[in-house]
Amino acid sequence: MKPQQDEPYAAIDLGSNSFHMIVANYSDGRLQIIDRIKEMVRLASGLDETDELSEDSIQRALACLQRFGERIKEIPQANIRAVGTNTVRQARNGGYFLSLADSALGHPIEIIAGQEEARLIYQGVAHTTYDEINKRLVIDIGGGSTELIIGQGFDIFSMDSLYMGCVNMSKRFFDDGKIKTKKINKTILYARQELESIEAAYKKIGWDLALGSSGTITTIRDVVQAKKWCETGITAAALSKLIDALIDFGDSNAIEFEGLSEHRKPVFASGVAVLAGIFEGLGLEKINVSNGALREGLLYDLIGRMHNEDIRDKTVTDVSQRYGVDKDQANRVRETAEKLFHQVNTDWSLHDEKEALKLLQWGALIHEIGLSIAHAQYHHHGGYLVTYSDLAGFSRQEQIKLAKLVRSHRRKFPLNEFEAISGHAKQSVIRLSILLRLATVLHRSRSNNSLPDIRIEVDKNAIHLFFPPQWLFEHPLTLADLKTEQNYLQTAGFTLDFQ
């Protein structure tokens, strides 16, 4: 569906250090930012030794999200996307936090994996600082993780998310606020160790220039340029002078730099040390700074979805090719599943019609990927592959839903597997799974012969299939398969009849 002209969009990034929101208008193919809001929440500082978010940190986050929610109240829900990153991924009570956070914001919040975070950061940088000629290394130091990406234009060659950010490194090495040479060196060494496994690969790919993005690097740039230690970007020499100055201050509370806010002081030294470790590990002499980051990437990704340029479609196609899926069979199942969907959508009140149909289509296209491992229990293998693969464009919640479709498309119907899906979406995914199961049964012969017009009616947990007279009698194997499926569904609390 093409978006309306001058329609507002919003992207919200629940970072480990700061929460960001940008609001923009999209008109004539251009994005115009009309509002930016940033609050230093430092969510990662609320994680205890067991990775539980403290009540104080949760309340700070909820208060911020309520303010964000006021700003986006008049924006259509379809035009809003909110994501949580490293700390929300890591928190053991993340589910509890998200249930409160969704309510505070008034919009569902997705959790994205580190690889997806890296992809979106690069898209934000690529759209904001477009350069189709140079191969670029992009560095983003967040509160709980650091993302590194090499790309050219909008194409990505390599991307990684490393567990080191200004907040968690501050808790680890600067917990008392003291800034000493030994602590700086320990942080740099930790960063070098995190980089060690990817250094060689990145140097082999190479890059023409390096860019930093987001708050930590932007603040470092502002400080070193205010001190006139370099004219543009951040140089290795300027970074060295900054480290010396921090050691001279000796304490986070004592830091006084033009361009450094009070809120960032407690995590500034750790962010500088992480960047110094990256400079050393990758042999950097200078990086420039981009204004684009994760939230801009979110906006452009969202607008792409509205323009039928959904990266998730490409991802599913790539997965299908990677695992050698029988495309003809996948498309046969998809087409039948779509026909069944359109007949029951209203009666079954499938949650978020457009996204539900897409989920069903994707499930049909890759439902057989487990065959690449073994035929026995291939639905289990497929569910595992979808669950644990890096799927560009998919949030963790979306990936879980897709995995459940693939896992449950044949044999016993595993109702307990759907407990991982929360809210209204759970019932919808169960019903989508039934549609995929029926489409798979109807095409078990893998024949190119077209199916007749099949009518389906549903009433809660009752499913009725209507075939042309004598068709089932003429296709005894399909009849036998439907009877088997009837038993599987009955065990799960659904009734299936056909005539």
Please report which confidence band the pLDDT of residue 1 belongs to, taking 50, 70 and 90 as the band edges.
very low
End-to-end CA distance of the chain: 37
pLDDT average, residue stretch 383-406:
96
Residue-wise DSSP of 384-431:
HHHHHS--TT--HHHHHHHHHHHHTSSSS--GGGGGGS-TTHHHHHHH
Q: What's this model's pTM, rounded to 2 decimal places? A: 0.91
Q: How confident is the model at residue 238 (pLDDT cuts 50, 70, 90)?
A: very high
Short-list 329, 276, 2, 9, CA closest to 146: 276
- Mean of pLDDT over the chain: 94
Confidence tier at 307 by pLDDT (50, 70, 90): confident
What's the confidence (pLDDT) of residue 18?
A: 93
Give residue-wise pLDDT tens across range 249-260.
999 999 999 989
Q: Please give the structure tokens belonging to residue 495.
A: 């009734």
pLDDT band for position 152 (cuts 50, 70, 90): very high
Could you read off the pLDDT of 317-347 as tens digits, one per residue? 999 999 999 999 999 999 999 999 999 999 9
Per-residue model confidence (pLDDT) at position 151: 97
Mean predicted confidence (pLDDT) in 111-131: 94
Higher-confidence residue: 378 or 26? 378
What's the whole-number mean pLDDT along residues 176-197?
97
Domains in the chain, start-ordered, CATH in brackets? Answer: 7-112+296-302 (3.30.420.40), 130-290 (3.30.420.150), 310-451 (1.10.3210.10)
474 Cβ neighbours under 8 A, 6+ residues apart: none
Query: Under a CB-based contact definition with an 8 Å cutoff, are residues 111 and 88 in contact?
Result: yes
Quickly tell me which residue has 């003429």 as its tokens: 474
Residue 140 scores a pLDDT above 80 = yes
Q: Residue 46: what pLDDT? A: 93
Does residue 69 register a pLDDT over 50? yes
Would the pLDDT of 284 be above 60?
Answer: yes
Identify the CA nearest to 52 among candidates 101, 91, 97. Answer: 91
Enter the tokens of residue 299: 């906006």
Backbone angles phi, psi at 219, to 5 degrees: -65, -40
Q: Long-range CB contacts (< 8 A, 24+ apart) of 309-314?
A: 310/358, 310/393, 311/392, 311/393, 312/358, 312/362, 312/391, 312/392, 312/393, 312/394, 312/398, 314/392, 314/393
Please give the pLDDT value at position 130.
82
Q: What percent of the chain has pLDDT over 90?
A: 91
Confidence class of residue 5 from pLDDT cuts 50, 70 and 90? low
For residue 108, what pLDDT is reported?
95
pLDDT at residue 351 tops 90 = no
The alpha carbon dihedral of 318, 319, 322, 324 has a sign of: negative
The predicted-structure confidence for 93-109, as pLDDT tens digits, reads as follows 999 999 999 999 999 99
Exposed/middle/buried for 284, CB within 10 Å: 0-12, 13-18, 19+? buried
Give CA angle at 474 (469, 476), nearest 5°: 120
Q: How far apart are CA 57 and CA 41, in angstroms?
A: 8
Give the tens place of pLDDT for each residue, 207-232. 999 999 999 999 999 999 999 999 99
- How does pLDDT run across 426-442, given as a tens digit for each residue? 999 999 999 999 999 99
